[in-house]
Structure 1
């Protein structure tokens, strides 16, 4: 038995490779129909806890590494206030931390598999329990170990599928995980049943698919997936009819934060705003922190007296920006800058109209070790960012808005509380690798699907996009300075 187990370990590893190809590294989403089948075929033959753990890790390790590998390559430590030696120690500690997260991610899948092994059998109950257990494990893993970030959730592998992805509007990304796992486990169950039937192969398949013994089960599963597809077709039929009657502009940039601290970069962004204004845009969204030398005092509603990043001409540039806003009084400028209120610093999104500050959104989940230091650890960072309120009244006139600043786009527990338009400025210039940028883009598509809302994603160094409530990309831009304008 031991030799049989060892000789069949290629099956879970094959599933790991297929999962890897489903990620932005491969983009082969049709493989979702069979990616986990080899692993589950192997799982149905296992007898000991050790075998289950080894098999599960072989399946999960390539996938979790593909999901987390790009995090090793965050560009620079500009946000860290430390010496060269201190920066090196932080980089080493960071790499160890990412490795631990990848390991936790891979090992976490052993828990639902060990639980499912207790009820493992030839009935439909096994795929159902496995799917529920894995989806629940991913949710707990994200909420407890990943500070809410949903990196590695298998449901994202379906974000570009036809029709099936629309189910996220009801059950979210973890519901898509359930569908993905259930389908693959059920196919594996069918294969195992075929191997136990006697006679020629064609007779085995006929007995499993059309025999009286499994007739009700086949009807139930068939009805489930036909219903999912029909629901997707139904939602897709409305994809072009829903409108907010708003012309929006999203700025895309390749200027890094370090390169932004000068007048030249300011005028690049100003010219892009003028281009958007010339096309009649009523809302203009900038990437995150494009003006690092503008810190706004929320109480006084003007530039703060002390700026964390110094630029001699900052005051004059700020007045110039307000003058531009006053010249187009009906247009709202959504500026992603840092703010202060009392003793607190915020990563914020400000709405300016006719030169006046309106509503403000505060980032709700700052990034550990770059925007705040958890557990009081002795790490010095450039600036400590306070946590925004879970519920914020953020509106454009009567239109309720949602906000996701930068990394928040990957946090599933955050709610937009019925908003029909989500603004998501981001600084992706610290991310290295096309796969990482595509992953953030997939997160944005999923948030639009889950919230049934239009989503504007404005990035520097990343993929900027305008996404409709059905996960379709209306406009997209990357790799250059530019502006997208669309009617939504």
Structure 2
């Protein structure tokens, strides 16, 4: 009976996390979602058994929330579910070890530190980065709760969620103590910690304003089936015709920027960045741009470059060193002026860490285009001739908060997200992805312009409000007067301060526990050594 109760509680925590996740209306459940798992930890003595029960929670959460990856790649989804669930268990194992060694208060603080340290590592480019389930993302469809993300980023949300869970669990556990030991303090502190950030966000939101710019931006949502696109040789003509036709419907004399989605310019053999104007397939594009010399085009492009020397990303083809990219470019009637090569590549599709190269043939597409991309390390701002300085984000990159903030620190005054979420079909995946973009707007107080091939294309103001969202599976073109922004929030200026503090705290906890372990081993060795 006890075993089945622990299994039920572990499974229940995973279900609560899923039920709270965007785009669910039950976001408030995130503040109690870990309570069943915390209860399991308090009852299970064995670290091995607790690790297994924790895995049940994490696996349930991963599968229930991101099952849609399966629509694009079965092997990619399976590896994501198994690996990410496994990695998520280690902060909890560390928590159990610290609680046993140093007591409850230190243990719960260690849980917060270890979990946030894990999230921070998962936000870095280490080959298997998958921060989709960063706790702070759970609040993406409640922007009025988290206006203070401009100071903390999503790590502030993770800290808030964990802290409320811990205090509410402490109160629940306190209810089972003898009457003379009971205290309402954990409940009062939990409620206070829950309410104060909401009040801060409310006060911040009082100054919400909507301000238009003098020129407008046109977003195109062509609604081209990505599977047909990559399988259909010679389809660039029809793609360009659709993209240009939709653009023409919205462009006026005040349009200064048109945005097309990820890999809008695509051929099976890729497109040479150094010879765009000479490429006969792109003739309709140049005709369109010369017809509108006042505007710039920001577009996705599947591209390559021929290099003089071999690099770690290049492939030798017919004696030439070639790098392939999932790119974006700023183009106008005068030619291509700037390129950006996607930097945060999708694990298993566009990148694998060196220790998993032996299974690269097993992976197929899940959310990207084709394997074998090179990437760039600089956060290059792309400037247009009309004054917009673009922070480019291709697909999956838009879920990386601190990564995107570096563009704004480098002078970007608008964020342009281009994506192709059609791989996942009409599932929660594309809705979650759009909502995460709202957090980038709040963190940087910068307008977000989002062009998604099959939806959801939209504008997002600096307070996370979505404007003119276009539904799934609809071809559309929308426009809005969008002002550029020169704001530098605390998060933009200083980065993820909370996570870095949690890394320091995690190192201290590990060192402290290691010191205690060494000391105990030394004492045991002396006690067991033969007396002379």
Task: Determine if the TM-score, normalized by the shorter chain, exceeds 0.5.
Answer: yes
Compute the RMSD of aligned alpha carbons: 3.2
Question: Displacement of 1:128 after TM fit?
Answer: 3.5
Structure 1 residue 287: deviation in Å?
1.0
Task: Supply the distance in 2 between the matched residues of 1:11 and 1:190 (Cα, whole angstroms).
Answer: 18
Cα 1:185/1:244, change in 2 over 3 Å: farther
Is residue 2:384 matched to residue 1:424? no
Who is 1:338 aligned against?
A: 302
Aligned with residue 302 of structure 1, among 241, 254, 277: 277
Structure 1 residue 406: Cα displacement? 1.4
Count of residues paired in the alignment: 446
| 1:75-474 equivalence runs, <5 A | 92=75, 94=76, 96-118=78-100, 121=103, 123=105, 126-143=107-124, 147-161=128-142, 163-198=144-179, 208-209=183-184, 214=185, 224-241=193-210, 245-260=214-229, 261-278=235-252, 280-293=254-267, 296-300=271-275, 302-303=277-278, 315=280, 318-343=282-307, 344-371=323-350, 375=354, 377=358, 384-397=372-385, 398-412=387-401, 414-415=403-404, 416-418=406-408, 419-474=412-467
| Closer/same/farther in 2, CA of residues 262 and 337 from structure 1, 3 Å limit | closer
1:15 and 1:37 in contact (8 A); partners too: yes
Gaps of at least 5 residues in structure 2 are: 230-234, 308-322, 365-369, 483-532
Q: Which SS does the other structure have where 1:417 is aligned?
A: helix
For the Cα contact (< 8 Å) 1:148–1:413, is it kept in 2? no
| 1:483 to 2:477 alignment | yes
Q: Do the aligned partners of residues 187 and 351 (structure 1) sit closer, same or farther apart at CA in structure 2, a change above 3 Å counting?
A: same
Given that 1:279 and 1:485 are in contact with CA atoms closer than 8 Å, whether structure 2 keeps it comes out as no
Deviations 1:116-151 (A, max 9, x none): 42367565x554332222121222245376633312
- 2:421/2:452 contact within 8 Å kept: yes
Q: For 1:159 and 1:68, how far apart are their aligned partners in 2?
A: 16
SS of aligned partner of 1:484: strand
> Match for 1:37 among 17, 35, 38?
35
Q: 2:520 maps to what in 1? A: none
Q: 1:106 to 1:267 in 2, by over 3 A?
A: same
- C-alpha contact 2:66 2:429 (8 A) present in aligned 1: no
Cα offsets for 1:384-410 (capped at 9, x unmatched): 321123221322344432111112223
Shift of 1:285: 0.7
Distance 1:188 1:39 in 2: 10
**2:95, 2:110 within 8 Å by CA — same for their partners in 1?**
no
CA contact (8 A) 1:445 1:471 kept: yes
Gaps of 5+ in 1: 76-90, 305-314
Residue 221 to residue 378, structure 1, CA distance change in 2 (3 Å): closer
Whole-angstrom distance in 2 between the partners of 1:120 and 1:162: 38
Whether the 8 Å contact between 1:68 and 1:98 is mirrored in structure 2 is no
Q: Distance in 2 between matches of 1:110 and 1:126?
A: 10
3-state SS in 1 of match to 2:293: coil
> Equivalent residue of 1:110, what SS?
helix
Offset of 1:476 from its aligned partner? 1.0
Q: Write the deviation string for residues 132-185 of structure 1: whole angstroms up to 9, x where unpaired.
A: 221212222453766333122222111123543223222222331111111011
* 1:420-447 deviation per Cα after TM superposition (whole angstroms, max 9, x unaligned): 3111111212123411112222332222
CA contact (8 A) 2:31 2:162 kept: no
Distance in 2 between the 1:135 and 1:378 partners? Answer: 30
Tell me, what secondary structure is at the counterpart of 1:392?
coil
Quick one: structure 1 residues 108 and 143, their matched pair in 2 at CA, closer, same or farther if it must change by over 3 Å?
farther
Cα shift readout 1:314-372 (whole Å, capped 9, x = no counterpart) = x2x52232222122222221121123333322222111233432222221123344335
Contact kept? 1:61, 1:106, Cα under 8 Å: no
Rounded to whole Å, the distance in 1 between the matches of 2:36 and 2:275 is 62
Q: Which moved more, 1:321-330 or 1:475-484?
A: 321-330
Contact 2:210 / 2:461 at 8 angstroms: preserved in 1?
Answer: no
The CA distance in 2 between the partners of 1:41 and 1:370, in whole Å, is: 38
